[in-house]
Structure 1
Amino acid sequence: MDVKTAVKQIKQGQVSPLYLCYGTEKYQIQEFVGMLQDQVVDRNQRDFAMASFDLAETPVEAVVEEAETLPFLVERKLIVVRDSAVFTAGKEGGKIEHKVEALLAYIDNPAEHSVIVFVVNGEKLDERKKIVKAMKAAGTVLSFMPLGGSELTQWVVREVEKRGRRIGREAAEALVAACGVQMAALAVEVDKLCLYAGEGGMIDIAVINQLVARTTEQNVFAMVEHIAALKLEQALDIFYELLKQREEPIKIAALIARQFRIMLQVKDLARQSYSQQQIASQLGLHPYAVKIAGEQARKFEQAKLKRILSDLAQLDYQMKSGGIDKVLGLEIFLLKLGA
């Protein structure tokens, strides 16, 4: 089952007694658990109707015992369980020994008065484990992975509209480019921009440029984008601004090299017919970063990218060995690249 279907069912009152949420997108998982909490538990009864556990500190049989215990003064309770390694590959890092058989027995006959949500912050479950197979058969297993480029932009637009403001697609893309792909950070910036815009206000690119501070990584990302578009003046402006912020030239060079390395890897994998999602998984990157890197890479031949990386390696050696002034060396590299 996908997340949208699960949310729709919950809002219609069809709540599963068992949920297993896994994935790398923690913000989406928190949103889902919060929505489930609002649907299952009365706001004034949360002291009696909610419990939380961490399996790194608590044996799983204690969770089962809590779930089987009748709730006090409420009809149903919600139990949120942070998982360490019960559902994933590898051994427990702590000293807690879990009697997984107790949970397997509970899954076969869950209590009607309890809803358990297991939260696993990991990309994969261990499909070989009986407990994972049992959850898939009897419970609701939901995957929360990073959104793709267009999905992330649509999410920004929806979040702005929820708050009674407006934003265009280009402005949403500019926000993602400025802030990055982490949804928690994006949500904070959306709140700030909506507060500035006011009820019914419009958030445009000018407002985003004014209010959203770019990280060093995002500034370098934008610099490379300007270079790829042959906008040398804008690229140098970002470089000089980074120097004003006392960023180390060697760090800037390393981040530039990282972006060009990603471009080369994306170009190579795309030639082998890998999909965007497959490339993201292979390189351990967000799909949006792969999308942008792919667009940048199309402006360079593969041989050119290799030469740029070779030049950056040589520059790195010269900067670290004192063979060239760090700022001057990086400036000359950017001028040659832009030319």
Structure 2
Amino acid sequence: MDVKSATKAIRSGDPASIYVLYGTEKYQIQQFTEMLKAQVIEEEHQDFAVIPYDLSETPIEAVVEEAETVPFLVPRKLIIVRDTSLFTAGKESKIEHQVDRLITYMDNPADYSTIVFLAQGDKLDERKKLVKAVKKQAVVLAFAPLSGEELVQWIVKLAKQREVTFDAGAADTLISYAGTELQTLSAEVDKLCLFAGKGGVIRRADIESLVARSTEQNVFALVEELANLRLEKALALFYELLKQREEPIKIAALIARQFRIMIQVKELGQQSYSQQQIASQLGLHPYAVKIAGEQARKFEADRLRKILSHLSELDYQMKTGAVDKVLGLELFLLRLGA
């Protein structure tokens, strides 16, 4: 079952007894949990019927015992369990958990309890007996990063819920300013919707005047301008970063990182890797891979390697005092833009 199907079942009054949620998109996991809480537990009962547990402090058998206990004064209970070790690899728990108690419970779960496990990891450990059991008897949902197109659609949908629309290309502009973190994007959409007002339209100019770029996003935009041979705009972004008292060595390192990503995306793309596969391989958001791929197409692979080599030499010169840091980076940008 996927997230969309699980959401539909919950909204139609047919929630599962046990959910296991995992993945990189913590904001979406939080939103799903809040939706489940709102659908399963009436608002006036939430103080008594929503019970949190942390398996770093409480054994799993205590959670099972809670699930088996008939709720008091409420028709149903929702048990939200934070986990860092039972379902994922790596961390070992300081508490000894009797996982067989949970496996046995899954054969005959209480119809008045819903358990939601929030697994802290990008993926589950398929070797574990418990993971094999939940995959057969519970609803296991992965929350992976949205692709570039999905991210734009998510932003547009969020604004539409507030009766506001995005002008053509404005959602992409927002991502280029605010990044791909959903919680940050949600806050920025809220702000822009308040500015536009009900029935209003959010335009690129609104985003440019209302949304502040982070250092990483400024460097990302700087490289984009260089890739498009817009030297004047690239230098303007560089001077803006200096006004913000950013260290030139840090700026150079972030530029080098972006060019390194471009090389990696280009090479993996030539090996027929998909956008999602490249993102997973490099530990990047799919949208960042999409943009890096578009930038990389404007450079030959050899040219990208030479640029990285020049950045490596510049880094050495700046750190040893062989060149003034600001002047050295400025000259590099001028040569690259030319």
TM-score, normalising length from structure 2? 0.99
- C-alpha separation in 2, matches of 1:193 and 1:210: 10
Residue number in structure 2 paired with 1:227: 226
Structure 2 alignment gaps of length 5 or more? none
- Counterpart Cα distance in 2 of 1:289 and 1:248: 24
Q: Is the 8 A contact 1:17 1:139 kept in 2?
A: yes
Q: Counterpart of 2:35?
A: 35
Q: Are the aligned partners of 1:26 and 1:121 in contact in 2 as well (CA < 8 Å)?
A: no
Q: Does 1:10 align with 2:10?
A: yes
How big is the shift at 1:168?
Answer: 2.8
Q: In structure 2, what is the Cα distance between the partners aligned to 1:281 and 1:84?
A: 21
- Tell me, in whole angstroms, the C-alpha distance in 2 between the residues paired with 1:91 and 1:253: 35
Q: For residues 52 and 106 of structure 2, what CA distance do their matches in structure 1 show?
A: 18
Kindly provide the CA deviation profile for residues 55-111 of structure 1, in whole angstroms up to 9, marking residues without a partner as x: 11111111001101110111111011011110112342x421111111111111110
- Please state if 1:67 is matched with 2:67: yes
Label 1:169 to 1:120 Cα distance change in 2 as closer, same or farther (>3 A). Answer: farther
Query: What is the identity, as a one-letter code, of the residue corresponding to 1:75?
Result: P
State the Cα deviation string for residues 234-269 of structure 1 (Å, max 9, x = none). Answer: 000000000001000000000000000000010011
Name the CA distance, whole Å, in 2 between partners of 1:7 and 1:232: 48
Which residue of the partner structure matches residue 85 of structure 2? 85
The Cα shift of 1:169 comes to 4.3
Is 163-172 or 295-304 further displaced after alignment?
Answer: 163-172
Q: CA deviation at 1:33?
A: 0.3
1:44 and 2:44 correspond? yes
Which aligned pairs between 1:88-99 and structure 2 lie closer than 5 A? 88-92=88-92, 94-99=93-98
Whole-angstrom distance in 2 between the partners of 1:131 and 1:108 = 13
Per the alignment, residue 239 of structure 1 pairs with 238
Name the residue aligned to 1:331.
Answer: 330
Q: Which residue in the other structure is 1:106 paired with? A: 105
Question: Is the partner of 1:46 in helix, strand or coil?
Answer: helix
Classify the secondary structure of the residue corresponding to 2:52.
strand
Percent identical across equivalent pairs? 64
Question: Which amino acid counterpart does residue 83 of structure 2 have in structure 1?
Answer: D
Q: Distance in 1 between matches of 2:47 and 2:285?
A: 38
> Any gaps of 5 or more consecutive residues in structure 1?
none
Residue 42 of structure 2 aligns with an amino acid whose one-letter code is: D
Distance 1:71 1:88 in 2: 30
Q: What is the TM-score when the length of structure 1 is the normalising length?
A: 0.98
CA contact (8 A) 2:84 2:121 kept: no
Retained in 2: the 8 A contact 1:157–1:169?
Answer: no
Whether the 8 Å contact between 2:84 and 2:91 is mirrored in structure 1 is no
Contact 2:88–2:120 (CA<8 Å) still a contact in 1?
no
The question of whether the paired residues in 2 share the 8 Å contact of 1:48 and 1:71 is answered with: no
The aligned residue for residue 19 of structure 1 is 19
Query: Counterparts in 2 of 1:144-163, with a 5 A limit?
Result: 144-163=143-162
Which residue identity is paired with 2:31?
Answer: E
Any idea what SS the aligned residue of 1:199 has? Answer: coil
How many angstroms apart in 1 are the aligned matches of 2:37 and 2:81?
13
Alignment correspondent of 1:57 = 57
1:278-297 equivalence runs, <5 A? 278-297=277-296
Amino acid at match of 1:37: K
1:178-257, aligned counterparts within 5 Å?
Answer: 178-257=177-256
- Larger mean CA deviation between 291-300 and 113-122 belongs to 113-122
What SS class does the counterpart of residue 169 from structure 2 fall into?
Answer: helix
CA distance in 2, matches of 1:20, 1:118: 5
Return the offset for 1:121.
2.5
Runs of 4 or more above 4 Å deviation: none
Give the SS at the match of 1:116: strand
Q: Is the contact made by 1:87 and 1:125 (CA closer than 8 Å) also made in structure 2?
A: yes
SS across alignment from 1:306: helix
Q: How far has the Cα of 1:296 moved from its partner?
A: 0.2
Query: Structure 1 residue 284: deviation in Å?
Result: 0.6
Letter aligned with residue 189 of structure 1: E
Moved more, 122-131 or 255-264: 122-131
Q: Please, what is the CA RMSD of the aligned residues?
A: 0.8
- Paired residues of 1:264 and 1:306 also in contact (CA < 8 A): yes
Q: Is the 8 A contact 1:82 1:118 kept in 2?
A: yes
